[in-house]
Structure 1
Amino acid sequence: MKCIGNIYSNQINKGDLPLRYKFLLHVLIQCISNRRAGYDMAGNDLIGLMVALVLNKPFIISKYIFTNIKENMTRTGSRITWNKFWMYPRFLQMIMNVQHPNLPKADNDILKIEPMILQSLRIIKSLAAKRY
C-alpha cells in the first residue's frame, strides 16, 4: 500500500491512497465508521481495519464497533441525540438473533441477499478493463 500523505498523523486522507485502496477505504468509512460528516478522512483504527483486510490479518471488528458505539453514546455537543442507539443496527440485530433465536419474524421483513451472478462479474470486469 502506497500512501503519499503524512502517515504519522491521527487521520489519513483517502485521496492519498491508490485508487483500489481509496475505494476500499471509502466503503469502510460509509459502512462501519461512526462519522457523520467529512467522509474523506479515516482514523488510525479504521486504517488498521483496512490494512488487516488487505493483508488477511486478524482484526477484532466487534471491539471496533463497540468502541464506536461507546464514542457515539458519550459524544457531547451532538445536535441529534435521538438516533444514538441506531448506530450499527444490523450488528445489534445479529447479537439479538443469537441471544433470542425464536423471536417471531415477518416474512416480508426478511432481506434476501443473493451473491453476484456471473453476468454481473463480467460487467464489472469489463468496466475495470476499460479504466486501465
Structure 2
Amino acid sequence: MRMGYTGFVNDQAYAKSKFSKPYKFLVHLLIHTLGHNKGGYDESTDYIMNIITCLILNKPYNISQMIFN
C-alpha cells in the first residue's frame, strides 16, 4: 500500500499498471531483469514482489538464493 498499489492484494500476480509512476518503473525494471518469462511483462509474480518490498522497506533479502533456485 505504501507504493500506491490500487489492485487486489491477494492475487498471485500483481499488475504493473496498478502502481504509482515511480514504483511502476522499479517494477518494470525488476520484471525485465529477474523475470524468467518471454512475454507478458505487465504482471509481476510473488517472488519479484518480495524483492521489491524488501527494497522499499530496506530489509535484507537473499537474491542469490532465488536466482539459483
Which amino acid is the alignment partner of residue 61 of structure 2?
Answer: F
Bigger radius of gyration: 1
- Which ranges in structure 2 are unaligned for 5 or more consecutive residues? none
* CA–CA separation in structure 2 for the residues paired with 1:45 and 1:65: 11
1:16-38 deviation digits (Å, cap 9, x = unpaired): 00001100000001111111110
Which amino acid is the alignment partner of residue 53 of structure 1?
Answer: L
Equivalence for 2:57: 55
Equivalence for 2:21: 19
Equivalence for 1:42: 44
* TM-score (norm. length: structure 1): 0.49
After TM superposition, where is structure 1 displaced by more than 6 Å over at least 4 residues in a row? none
Considering only aligned residues, what root-mean-square deviation do their CA atoms show, in Å?
A: 0.8
Q: Give runs of aligned pairs for residues 1-132 of structure 1, distance below 5 A.
A: 1-67=3-69
- Sequence identity percentage: 33
- 1:54 shift after superposition: 1.2
How many residues align structurally? 67
- Which ranges in structure 1 are unaligned for 5 or more consecutive residues? 68-132
Which structure is richer in relative contact order (CA contacts within 8 A, separation 6 or more)?
2
Equivalence for 1:130: none
Which amino acid is the alignment partner of residue 7 of structure 2?
Answer: G
Which amino acid is the alignment partner of residue 27 of structure 2?
Answer: L
Q: Which has the higher helix share?
A: 1
